[in-house]
Each structure stands twice: as structure tokens, then as C-alpha cells.
Structure 1
Amino acid sequence: MKRSTKLGLGAAVALLGGLGTYAATTSPPLLLSRLDAVMGGGRGAALVAEGVRFGSQDQTLDVWRAETAANADRRPVLVFWHGGGWVKGARQDYAFAGRAFARQGFVVVIPDYRKVPQVRFPASVQDGAEAVAWVRDNIARFGGDPQRIAFSGHSAGAHTAVLLALDPRWLKAADVDPGIVKAVVGLSGPYDFYPFTTKRSIDAMSHYPDPKVTQPIERARADAPPMLLVTSTKDETVRPRNAINLSRRLKALGASAELINYRGLDHEEVVMALSVPFRSRGTVLADSVAFLERHLHPQR
């Protein structure tokens, strides 16, 4: 098994070298998605809707599901927001994440959202809420169960996922019942980062009159949906204390919160581990799926 994994990574490196200028000018997540497809990540997963428009700001989203799924199915739904420090990233760059969870039986929605400097907080969260409204109204057409919806995301996307789940004002503003979310998986997300010290957080958040509104940890509540908060020991972009502090706060309030701190992974490697080329780096996919399956059991 180890040998086949090493061969796969070697093939990925060789392919990277052969791509030349394309690799140098393509976003790393999009390049990873291409490598993931070449190395078998696309087998068993299908992109069933691409660039679907939603919301008042004319944003777009993609929908992934298993190739064997049917429109009449009622599969659990995962809304996944990509990262990028609130300034970059696009839904199509994270096809590897959509495929990974689709192959595990989820209907996966990956929405875009507006970025800094064109907008600042709370635009990304408002766009996220409107994506959830679209999911509620439309996901059954793609074989998803609107009664079994979970949120996830990486980095800035995890901030959106967790804040939407903790602070009901944003979903209510989009005419969505905050109880719609049944579980949350936050990957390497910033949840406790005030005062703002990085350029990206300053640019995205510092203008807002009440900084506490930007901080998921300040919205922690006893009746929060179950959360899996993932961090890693070598994350120097979003420090592990973000997940650790939020996990402790939720538990102190009596909410259900689990923490995983992967040894040896950095910020990017946590989400990269969802892909076929780097899945051997960590059990992020398996741990996330196990958590989601526990909390998205079929309604009886």
C-alpha cells in the first residue's frame, strides 16, 4: 500500500513538472483538482450542476454527487465553502473536495462568494446564507435531502460555515431557519482572531463597527449544532488556538464539539488531504465523513 501511494505522488510530481507554464500560472487548488482527476479522484463522482446562479448578488455554485446517485434519492447534503483569505479562490478550484465527499455518498454544493477588496464583511457570510437558501429550495432535484444538511469549509470558508451555524442572524436574514444545519466540519478556520493583526483580516473585517460580530467564538451557544473543528500542529496561517479555543468554549456551554489537531500538517495540507494525491498525509476525509455520518442519520 505504501509503495502504491509513493508511486502516485511521484506521478503527480512528474506531471507537475511536465505542465510547465500552465502549472506556474494556475491556482494551486485548481492544479490540485486537475491532478486529483488524473489520479482517479473523479471515478465515481459526477458534476451534475455547474455555475448555477443563486442569490441577490448573482453568485454561482456547483453540485457534485456520486455517479450512481439518482434524482429521486435523498442523500445527505454538504455545503462546502472554499478558502482563500477572503480575497481569492473559486468554486471550480475545489473540485477535488466535491469529488471526495460525493464519492462518500454526499450531495456536495460548493458556492462562490464575493471577495475583498470589492466587498468586506459581512458580504461573504451573506452570500453563504443565500447559498443555503438555494440548497433548501433546490437540492431535492439533485437527490439531496433538505432535512439533512451539513456545513463545511476550509480556512476563510470554515469561518463562513461556522459563523452561519453559530450566529442565527445571517440565515434568518436570508429567510432560512437556522435549525437547517445539522452538523459542521471546520477545517483550519479562523474563529478567534480579534484584535486583527494580519493584512487580510484587517482588510476584510476591521471596518465593521462591532468586531465581536466577526468572531465565531463570540457567537458560541449551548444549542449549537454538533461541530468537528480541525486544526494542525504546523499551521502558521491560522493558528491552532482558533479551533482549540472555540472547542473549549462550546464544550463549556454544553454544546457538542470535537477537536482534531493533526500532527505534522500545515494549513494547506489539511485540505489537500481530501484529494487522492495527498490523502495518505492525513485522515481528514475519513474523520470528517465519520463525524458527518453520525449526525446526518436518516430521518425516521
Structure 2
Amino acid sequence: MRTVMLVIATLVGIGLIAGGSVLVAINRNGPAVLDTVDRIAGKERGVTLAHRASLGPDARQKLLVYRAAPGEGPQPVFVFVHGGSWANGDPDDYGFIARNIAPEGYVVVLGGYRLGESGRYPAMLEDTASVLAWVNQNIGEFGGDPQRIVIAGHSAGAYNVAQVALEERWLVEAGVVAEGAVKGVVGLAGPYDFYPYDSDSTRATFGTVGAGAESQPVNHAKGEAPPFLLVHGEDDTLVKPRNTRALAAALEARGARVDTLYLPGKTHNDPLLALANPWRRDPRVFDTVKAFLKDTTALSVPVQAGKP
């Protein structure tokens, strides 16, 4: 009996060490490792890459379209924009987003944008708006509904989607013609209120081009904004939770809908991890996102004449 217990204890220890090593690897080179872990840990989900598009001369100006089995009629669209301090990141490393969201009944688009010196403000906003313009004009070919789009992002990507949703000039200039097509915005651990610039990455991306308070999502909050879901780890030291609290307060003050989820003991990458296997076993983030998507993209059923 003692030998059996020793073996079990050893296996548990190895598992914990392996799990810790995976988390360390994710923190160092997160998305690519996370994508591999999700592919191994998740069941076969029937999600395929349906299309790849280039949106500009920079290799990072691209998007990927994923879908699962076609539904009855056009499916709502989930557009995800990666993080990486506006200096790193590649949509090709975020297949786990598609593998977990598409089977819920969505066409998933992973959007990229210019990074580093060529991606300084407002390039990241122009490129994110270009992704939405492409979706608005082309997603019907891949079973998506251009009138039911939710945009989401993590960290720097959360900034991108929040800003283009709130400061309407970016979508107008990109040629997004379907008014009201963006039905919701999901921000994971996003920076929304960081002026004066408070880090090397924000000073490099915004300060070097003279951007000011106009670059902050919190300063564009409005009552007619699409519904927002903002998720943040309470122990996030990279992008402090006060960013989410500030944007949520500004939206609420103007009468917009904003849902928040604060995660005690969680740090910057935890909201992203929660959208992949095996971390989906803690359902708080995934179930909250899923419920928000279902609510904001639900088709309204017209009332027939003569019926209540």
C-alpha cells in the first residue's frame, strides 16, 4: 500500500512540475505554447481554417477566418485581436481562440496589425478597423453574418477593439458601412486609461508620436456604445485593474451597458488562459464570455401581424 501511495505521489508531483513548466513557458512565449497545449488537451472540435487574407504590405496586416460545421443561416462573427504591448504577437498563434469559440456557433476571425515602430499610434487602430471593414464586406462568403459582429482582444488588443468601437472615426475611415454591425466588445486585461504614459511600451507606441488624451478609450465613452464585457485579474501588475474600473465607470455614467468580471488572485494572462484547454475547466471566464456573446448576437424575432 505504501508503494502504491508513493507511486501516486510521485506521479502527482511530476504532473505539478510539468504544469508549472507549461505556465512558465506560456508566460515567456505565451500564445504559441498555449496554442499547442490547447490543441493537445482539447477534444477534436472540427474547426478549420477557411481563409487567410492580407490587408496591407506589412506581413502583420492579415486575418484568418475559422469556422466549424455550418449552421442554419449566417452565424454571428467573433473577431479577436491579439496582445503583445503593440510590439509582439501573431494571429497564427491564437488558433485556440477559434477552436474554443467557433463550436459555440460563431465564425471566428483572428486579426493582426502592424507592430513596433511601424505600428505606432494610430497604425494599430487603422489596421484593426481594416479587419472589421474586411469582415463587414466579405464574411458572408464564409457563413458569417456581417450585421452581428462581436470584437474582442487581450491586453493591447483589448485597447485596439475598445478604441475603434468608441471613437467612430476609425470605422468610418476604414469604410465600415453597416451601422450598428458591432453588437458587443469583449476586453480582457486591457489598458484603457494610461495617459500620461506610464510604461516603456506606451511611451514608445504613443508618446513618440505626440499622441495625447484623445488616444484613451476612457475619454470616448458614450451612451450609444455597443455593450461591453470587461474582464480583469485583480492581481494584474502589467495592466492594472484600475483601467477596467475607469472605463466601466465612464460607460456606466453615460448610460451604456457594461458587464465586468474581476478575478481574485489572477494576473495578466489568466483571462486569456481561461479561453483555452485545460484552463477552461474553471468556467468563470469562458461561461461569462459565452453568455455575453449569445445575448448580444441573438436574432430578434419579428412579431407577426395579429399576434401579441
Q: TM-score, normalised by structure 1?
A: 0.88
Which residue matches 1:243?
A: 244
* Residue identity opposite 2:182 in structure 1: V
* Counterpart-to-counterpart distance in 1, 2:16 and 2:99: 20
* Counterpart-to-counterpart distance in 2, 1:271 and 1:287: 13
Counterpart check, 1:268 vs 2:266: no
CA apart distance, 1:250? 0.5
* Counterpart-to-counterpart distance in 2, 1:106 and 1:140: 12
* Residue identity opposite 1:109 in structure 2: V
2:109 is paired with a residue of what secondary structure? strand
Check the 8 A contact 1:230/1:261 in 2, yes or no. Answer: yes
CA apart distance, 1:44? 3.2
Which residue matches 1:63?
A: 65
Q: Which moved more, 1:181-190 or 1:171-180?
A: 171-180
Check the 8 A contact 1:75/1:106 in 2, yes or no. Answer: yes
1:70-94 deviation line (CA, Å, top 9, x unaligned): 6x73111011000000000000111
Which residue matches 1:13?
A: 18
Check the 8 A contact 1:55/1:130 in 2, yes or no. Answer: no
1:10-38 deviation line (CA, Å, top 9, x unaligned): 49937968xxxxx79x9321111011111
Check the 8 A contact 1:270/1:282 in 2, yes or no. Answer: no
Check the 8 A contact 1:55/1:134 in 2, yes or no. Answer: no
Which residue matches 1:86?
A: 86
Query: Which has the higher Rg, Structure 1 or Structure 2?
Result: 2
2:275 is paired with a residue of what secondary structure? coil
Which residue matches 2:39?
A: 37
Which residue matches 2:304?
A: none
Q: Which moved more, 1:74-83 or 1:110-119?
A: 110-119
* Counterpart-to-counterpart distance in 1, 2:56 and 2:220: 25
Which residue matches 1:114?
A: 114
1:98-140 deviation line (CA, Å, top 9, x unaligned): 2111121111100111001233111011000111111011111
Which residue matches 2:201?
A: 200
Which residue matches 1:293?
A: 294
Check the 8 A contact 2:185/2:226 in 1, yes or no. Answer: yes
Alignment of 1:173-212 (within 5 A): 173-177=173-177, 179-212=180-213
CA apart distance, 1:148? 0.4
Alignment of 1:127-138 (within 5 A): 127-138=127-138
Q: 1:15 to 1:210 in 2, by over 3 A?
A: closer
Q: Which moved more, 1:113-122 or 1:239-248?
A: 113-122
* Counterpart-to-counterpart distance in 1, 2:50 and 2:18: 30
CA apart distance, 1:69? 1.6
Q: 1:193 to 1:249 in 2, by over 3 A?
A: same
* Counterpart-to-counterpart distance in 2, 1:106 and 1:290: 13
* Residue identity opposite 1:291 in structure 2: F
Check the 8 A contact 2:230/2:244 in 1, yes or no. Answer: yes
Q: Which moved more, 1:278-287 or 1:249-258?
A: 278-287
Q: TM-score, normalised by structure 2?
A: 0.86
CA apart distance, 1:145? 0.5
* Counterpart-to-counterpart distance in 1, 2:198 and 2:16: 40
CA apart distance, 1:42? 4.7
1:207 is paired with a residue of what secondary structure? helix
* Residue identity opposite 2:166 in structure 1: L
Which residue matches 1:3?
A: none
* Counterpart-to-counterpart distance in 2, 1:102 and 1:250: 29
* Residue identity opposite 1:139 in structure 2: I
* Counterpart-to-counterpart distance in 2, 1:254 and 1:182: 16
CA apart distance, 1:296? 0.6
Unaligned residue ranges in structure 1 (runs of 5+) = 1-5, 18-22
Counterpart check, 1:74 vs 2:74: yes
Which residue matches 1:219?
A: 220
* Counterpart-to-counterpart distance in 1, 2:288 and 2:200: 32
Unaligned residue ranges in structure 2 (runs of 5+) = 1-10, 302-308
CA apart distance, 1:261? 0.4
Q: 1:192 to 1:52 in 2, by over 3 A?
A: same
CA apart distance, 1:208? 3.8
